[in-house]
Amino acid sequence: MIPQPIDRILMQVQKPGRYAGGELGSVVKDRSQVRFRFAMCFPDLYEVGMSHLGMKILYALINQREDFWCERVFAPDADMEAQMRSRGLPLYGLESYDPIAGFDIIGFTLQYEMCYTTVLNMLDLAGLPVRAGDRPGLSPLVIAGGPCTCNPEPIADFIDLCVLGEGEEVTLALADLYLQAREAGWDKTAFLRKAAQLDGVYVPSLYQAAYNDDGTVKAVTPAAGAPPTVKKAIIQNLDEVFYPDQFVVPYTSIVHDRAMLEVMRGCARGCRFCQAGFIYRPIREKNWATLDENARQLCAATGYDEVSLTSLSTSDYRQLEPLLEGLLPWSERERVSLSLPSLRVDNFSPQLLEQIKRVRKSGLTFAPEAGSQRLRDAINKNVTEDEVMRTCRTAFEGGYTAIKLYFMMGLPTETMEDIEGIVQLAQKVVDLYYSLPSRPKGKGVSVTASVACFVPKPFTPFQFEPQDTRQQLREKQQRLLTTVRSKKITINYHDAPISLYEAVLARGDRRLGRVVEAVWRAGGNLEGWDEHFSVTRWESAMQAAGLDPAFYANRRRAYDEVMPWDHLDYGISKKFLIHENKRAWQQATTPNCRQHCSGCGANRLIGGGVCD
């Protein structure tokens, strides 16, 4: 039953289903039987957060404990926030409708740097001070996880502790330690010092940053017994780790409304721009039989009629053929479709296409990433133009007429010829279609080139590289558009100003905390959405703080410079990243992990030896 104060305002907002709760599969418990309450916060709208697999896993994992209760919390859109603030209604959990300020731990998942102002806004909506130093009590503790915690320094002033890496085991360990602290009467400082000894737990307040005269980081020094380097948490065996047999099924539409199977973690490829490909190393696979059972359970519990096989590179999953052979008989019988995202150009075969055609009728998506072979070699994409064309031929001969190609703009070593190469490659795909006598009669072809702005990220070989300036990116976007000659080609590209501040925050240090806070106080919230982003707010906040965005985004960094994240250990050695950066400038490729171990260091996280 929705409490009256909330029920009254739901008819005043668009998409009230975002805020109503009560969905199939949501977990409601007796408050009197619960010893620990966790608010699982996603700093974005409901339809984005409800599509995130990591949140689904941790939600079910915590609720598996009878005396633990995890509830979901999402950022309200502007109309709902206005109603909440005008009526004094604090941010609440969707399961109990209780204010989250009364919970034990408030946990944020940080998927995107532009969500930082939303984190502050959600804390404020909850009635809590945004700065960790202004929250002296043990409860509520504010923690963060997700890929952005590989460099959490720009939000270090607001978060009590960060979970680095994979959260299934360390989250429960933290919860148990919290209960021990509460029962023993520890204060917040005592708890944080104990928590800092857990693998994968980083407590920013136990580290002090010092700076050189030129503004670069001089050192990040631990105190109070905190470890000098914090190692990420990692799951050793995916077959043995917890996986949900039930998802919450929303009443309203979301971005990815389907069952999801995580077939593997990590990626063997080593694309030099890809942060996920490095911070989730080493590669680990689930057994196909485990996945088949997971899929059956999820579909039976949720009623979903679509299952997505998710990973960073699904077609690299070595047991894909037996998995599909196991899934297809019952999925076809029960009319459950299968989705295979993240397909690779270099291992897309007619046999795989035949299996995909049985379960997927939409267009196909591939990622050449760059328009020329020289640049693909520099970024270590390890894909040739012949492979791209052969894959598109296979798709066209199999009856497909729509192809989407993903590219990046502003990559290190890029020239205008590489930009023109994006359109030239798309045109070659169009010409290929019309050259095939076996093409579907009476149907035209559609080739979409989606072009994102390159953002240098921590723990990648390109962490040292500058991002193109806004002017450079505008010139490249203009060249891209003027090169198109065919109506069969559609060009989509991302907004450069947002990418600039994504780069600022991705490689930023603690001095940016006051910038994030100033942007939020000036009205910044949900900044990852074009309609909410304001470049003026960010420019004003940077200027007021005496900081230059170009220092963070557009500056090449020396190999011996201390990075703000150098005291965090994701298994990838800085020596390896430097080596790979040098190879990029030589246009030299590095074999993928399954062909040859290149010594990145990640294998020591699972006991040493060569990675699987």
| Contact criterion met (CB below 8 Å) for 120 and 158 | yes
Give the Cα-Cα-Cα angle 506, 507, 510 (nearest 5 degrees).
100
What does the pLDDT average to over 58-70? 97
- Nearest Cα neighbor of 119 from 65, 162, 150, 88 is 162
Q: How confident is the model at residue 357 (pLDDT cuts 50, 70, 90)?
A: low
Burial-class residue 322 by CB neighbours within 10 Å (0-12, 13-18, 19+). Answer: middle
pLDDT averaged over the chain? 93
pLDDT above 90 (res 345) = no
**DSSP bridge pairs for 222:** 207
pLDDT above 80 (res 523) = yes
- pLDDT: is 309 or 62 the higher one? 62
Q: 566-599, pLDDT tens digit by residue? A: 999 999 999 999 999 999 999 999 999 888 899 9
Ranking 68-72, 244-248, 399-403 by mean pLDDT, the lowest is: 399-403
pLDDT above 80 (res 441) = no
Q: 113-140, pLDDT tens digit by residue? A: 999 999 999 999 999 999 999 999 999 9
Distance from C-alpha of 598 to C-alpha of 205, rounded to nearest angstrom: 36
Backbone angles phi, psi at 132, to 5 degrees: -60, -35
- The string of DSSP codes covering 361-380 is -S-EEEEEESSSHHHHHHTT
**Kind of pairing, strands 217-222 and 141-145?**
unpaired
- Nearest Cα neighbor of 381 from 446, 462, 467, 317 is 462
pLDDT above 80 (res 417) = yes
- pLDDT: is 105 or 344 the higher one? 105
Distance from C-alpha of 36 to C-alpha of 28, rounded to nearest angstrom: 14
Q: What does the pLDDT read at residue 356?
A: 63
Distance from C-alpha of 325 to C-alpha of 549, rounded to nearest angstrom: 52
pLDDT above 60 (res 361) = no
Strands of the 364-369 sheet, one edge to the other:
364-369, 402-409, 446-453, 489-493
What does the pLDDT average to over 294-314? 92
Q: What does the pLDDT read at residue 332?
A: 86
| Contact criterion met (CB below 8 Å) for 285 and 318 | yes
Q: 442-489, pLDDT tens digit by residue? A: 789 999 999 999 999 999 999 999 999 999 999 999 999 999 999 999
| Residue recorded with tokens 């798309």 | 426
pLDDT above 80 (res 344) = no
Q: What does the pLDDT read at residue 562?
A: 98
pTM here is 0.95
- pLDDT: is 495 or 302 the higher one? 302
Share of the chain above pLDDT 70, in %: 96
Q: What does the pLDDT read at residue 326?
A: 93
